[in-house]
Amino acid sequence: MHETAAQSLAILRDPSYFQWSVAIFLAFVLYVYAVEIERRNWNIVLGALSFYGLEWFIEVCNGLVFHFSGYSPIWTTTGRTMYQILPGLTIEISMMFAVAAVIFLKLLPKDKNMKILGINNRKFFWVANSVFMVFMECVVNAWGHLPWNYSWWNFPNVWLIILIGYMPYFMLSFYVHDLPSMKKKIAIVTSLFAVDLILLLTFVFWLGWM
């Protein structure tokens, strides 16, 4: 087992690390969504929830890589945290993803056919937002708090993190945001969270694999 993976595992869901400042951040996240719900911005709310639901799915997959490899998750979170939820997910990161999803969707042009630099704006932001998020990850990785312990998910292969690690988030959330059918939006979001719940109940609480 890699040293950084062992560090993450040592504090995994350890309640002694809990801090009451979690309540402040949680209230902020709820406020962000409450504002969008008050304004009936359902496209943003459901698009953001699909983004967040996909984050949980991918984090479970990352934990499964750790379980089956016995070596390391693809990405590992280390350092001080208010709560380590999964091997690659802290409570701070989880809440950040919930709010970031709203921010990215609010920055989308209303006209989904508008072009930026000759590229459809949705596709432009798939790439631009993914590059931005990976740049931020590179900074945290350089500080030693987000280790990448596999050569294919590390420098110089950060393009893979852009294509697989982040672009699916934006593709899905933009798709849900732009769907004309509210029923389809709700169906996608509820299905995604149902899958997340099943995976967490199975692999975390029942089998205890992560």
With beta carbons less than 8 A apart as the criterion, state whether 59 and 86 touch: yes
Question: What pLDDT score does 89 carry?
Answer: 98
What span, in angstroms and rounded, lies between the C-alpha atoms of 85 and 14?
Answer: 9
Spell out the domain ranges in the chain. 3-206
CA neighbours within 13 Å on the CB side: how many for 30? 6
pLDDT in tens, 76-93: 999 899 999 999 999 999
pLDDT in tens, 171-193: 999 999 999 999 999 999 999 99
C-alpha separations of 145 from 63, 78, 140, 179 in Å:
17, 5, 6, 37
pTM, whole model, 2 decimals? 0.95
Number of other residues whose CB lies within 10 A of the CB of residue 191: 12
**Single-letter code of the amino acid located at 98:** A
With beta carbons less than 8 A apart as the criterion, state whether 85 and 74 touch: no
pLDDT in tens, 106-158: 999 999 999 999 999 999 999 999 999 999 999 999 999 999 999 999 999 99
